[in-house]
Amino acid sequence: MSLVLEAVRVRLAGRTLVGPLALTVADGETVTVMGPSGSGKSTLLDVVTGTLAPAFRAEGRVLLDGRDLAGLAPEQRGIGILFQDPMLFPHLSVGGNLAFGMPRRVRGRARRARIAAVLAEAGLEGLADRDPATLSGGQAARVALMRVLLAEPRALLLDEPFSRLDAALRARVRAFVFEHVEVRGLPTLLVTHDPEDARGRVVRIGGG
């Protein structure tokens, strides 16, 4: 698997906000895009996921495993994304949140077994029936990651997912995320403004 950005440029009102950027993220590799707030880091991820707002204009190509993603809906791209907030659905249990992104081919007993397995993997055994509102920050972050991974993405985007955690928890969650990225061999693109979060090669945008 590989995620490739070919001469990607984003414009807003005729002004270049990002790029042109050429970048290849290999299997199991994490590449970090750094820049200050407002530099277009999250906008770059919108280009990859196909959720760029109409006010922006994108140029260049995004390829995943050699397939051009142009024209594909976000749910057809095989891209998983983790945000600053866990964004767990409050009307679903922990298990319901995990089941939400799973492929439809996984049903019944197999689905329940997979949920139990990832909860155990995340150190959250027995919490399938819990209300997400009762989880700690670290627990919610782990559930959010496992929900993304259960959707079987072929690449992963990280949009400053550690920025709202306190320092001690941040280090633990960060280690947890990157361990799972490496085990699954996912090409991963991380955007952050914090050097402590950076992994792998670093690409800077937005004036430096």
Residue 21, domain extent = 2-89+152-204
The residues that bridge with 57 in the sheet, in sequence order, are: 11
Which is higher by pLDDT, 83 or 1?
83
- Residue 200 forms part of a structural domain: yes
State the pTM of this model. Answer: 0.89
Q: Is 12 left (phi over 0), alpha (psi -120 to 50) or beta?
A: beta
90 has pLDDT over 70: yes
Q: Which of 65-74, 98-107, 166-175 has the highest mean pLDDT?
A: 65-74
CA distances 81 to 13, 34, 69, 156, Å, are: 27, 17, 16, 6
Identify the CATH number of the domain in which residue 168 sits. Answer: 3.40.50.300
Q: Provide the domain count of the chain.
A: 1
- Residue 114 forms part of a structural domain: no
- Residue 122 forms part of a structural domain: no
Per-residue pLDDT band at 207 (split at 50, 70, 90): low
Q: Does residue 20 have a cis bond before it (omega within 30 degrees)? A: yes
* CA 115/CA 150 separation, integer angstroms: 9
- Residue 108 forms part of a structural domain: no
- Residue 23 forms part of a structural domain: yes
Task: Using a pLDDT cut of 70, give the percent of the chain over it.
Answer: 99
- Residue 147 forms part of a structural domain: no
As a whole number, mean pLDDT of residues 23-49 equals: 91
- Residue 100 forms part of a structural domain: no
Are the beta carbons of 186 and 156 closer than 8 angstroms?
Answer: yes
For the segment 155-193, what is each residue's pLDDT rounded down to a tens digit? 999 998 888 788 778 888 888 888 888 888 999 999 998
- Residue 121 forms part of a structural domain: no
Per-residue pLDDT band at 1 (split at 50, 70, 90): low
